[in-house]
Amino acid sequence: MTIVVIGDDLAEKLARLLNLEAILIEERIFPDGELQPRLQKEKKADQIILILQKRTKENINDYLLKYFLLSRKAKDLAPKVFGIMPYLPYARQDAVFQEGESLSALYVDELIEKNLDVFITCNMHEHRKRIKDLFKIPSHNLFLFKDLAEKFQDFKPEKTVVVGPDREAKTFVDDFCQNFSASKLNFLKQRDAKTGKIIFSHSPLDLNGKEVIIVDDIVSTGGTILEAAKIAHQLKAKTISFAFVHPIFGDQSIDSLRKINPKRIITTNTLENSKYELDIVEPLARFLKKIIQP
Ligand code: R5P
């Protein structure tokens, strides 16, 4: 019985941890922009092909199309195909905000699942829709905040406050604090309908002299998490750290946070970057051991 992992360097590492064979993907782009992902070796697996491919610097739509081509190819090579997409694109477009818009999160997921039997992602932005509302195949959303919290074990519980920058971040704070004792605080983020300006409010809590850890699922421009840091500063926090899962613009997202001189920045390699501290392959391997039996 064989299970093969196809994809990038993460796939190679995952295969090593699970004692499976890895096949890397070579990529070619034609002058007109057409993509050609190619398995370095074509091999049939009589049980499962696992695909693990993170997004690198390419356009997000190229990433999706490449994944689609790979999953269709894998379908010809194994009876079951499990797709692991560390960051799920389009998940934030989970509602029709204006008449005539596409419900992109659903439509993109319909494409992704077309050639898959199981779908796995990390901290999908379950804002209005949950993963099970979007995928018809078995789907899993792995939460990584507990793993991020392990990188702060040297912080003293009585001196630490874990802060979520908006209402949705409450579940992130709770998840982060599962095995990590600290006080919790949530800011409220509202957008002024007229000016578009983002306004934060919060319940009164003294951050004076505290070590504050601001947690979020996504950092793209860094605007949200930096605004939360500004309030924490005003409330006299002693130090500020950041913990988040997806650095949307890679190193650029992380560098945008350095300007306030945080005590610590912890993020993952769900998207390509050179500064991650949490390698997602280990939690992925732990999870996969529970659902596959080679
Ligand atoms: C919003 O709901 C998300 O959880 C993040 O807070 C947001 O996407 C971060 O974006 P940015 O870094 O551009 O403020």
The pLDDT assigned to 186 comes to 87
The pLDDT assigned to 204 comes to 61
User: For residue 3, which of 288, 234, 194, 243 has the smallest C-alpha distance?
Assistant: 288
113-165 per-position pLDDT tens digit = 999 999 999 999 888 999 999 999 999 999 999 999 999 999 999 999 999 99
203: which strand partners?
none
222-260 per-position pLDDT tens digit = 989 999 999 899 889 999 999 999 999 999 999 999 999
- If you average pLDDT over residues 77-104, what whole number do you get? 96
- If you average pLDDT over residues 93-107, what whole number do you get? 94
CA of 108 to the centre of ligand 1 (A): 20
Mean pLDDT of the chain: 93
**Cα 96 to Cα 101: distance, rounded to the nearest angstrom:** 6
In this prediction, residue 104 has a pLDDT band, given cuts at 50, 70 and 90, of very high
202-227 per-position pLDDT tens digit = 666 778 999 999 999 999 999 899 99
**Cα 172 to Cα 185: distance, rounded to the nearest angstrom:** 11
CA of 70 to the centre of ligand 1 (A): 30
In this prediction, residue 294 has a pLDDT band, given cuts at 50, 70 and 90, of low
The pLDDT assigned to 57 comes to 87
Strands 21-29 vs 35-39: parallel, antiparallel or unpaired: antiparallel
Is the predicted pLDDT of residue 188 greater than 90, yes or no? no
Question: Ligand 1 atom closest to Cα of 127?
Answer: 2
User: For residue 202, which of 233, 227, 231 has the smallest C-alpha distance?
Assistant: 231
The pLDDT assigned to 203 comes to 67
Amino acid of residue 263:
K
Percent over 90 (pLDDT), the chain? 84
218 lines ligand 1 (CB under 6 A): yes
Residue 172 near residue 215, CB atoms below 8 Å: yes
**Cα 154 to Cα 203: distance, rounded to the nearest angstrom:** 27
Probe residue for ligand 1, chosen from 200, 220, 244 as the CB with the greatest number of ligand atoms within 8 Å: 220
Beta strands in 86-176 (DSSP E): 118-122, 139-142, 160-164
Q: What letter does residue 259 receive in the DSSP assignment?
A: T
CA of 216 to the centre of ligand 1 (A): 8
In this prediction, residue 28 has a pLDDT band, given cuts at 50, 70 and 90, of very high
Distances (CA, A) of 85 to 118, 129, 205, 242: 11, 18, 38, 24
222 lines ligand 1 (CB under 6 A): yes
Give the number of other CB atoms < 10 A from CB of residue 216. Answer: 24
CA of 248 to the centre of ligand 1 (A): 10
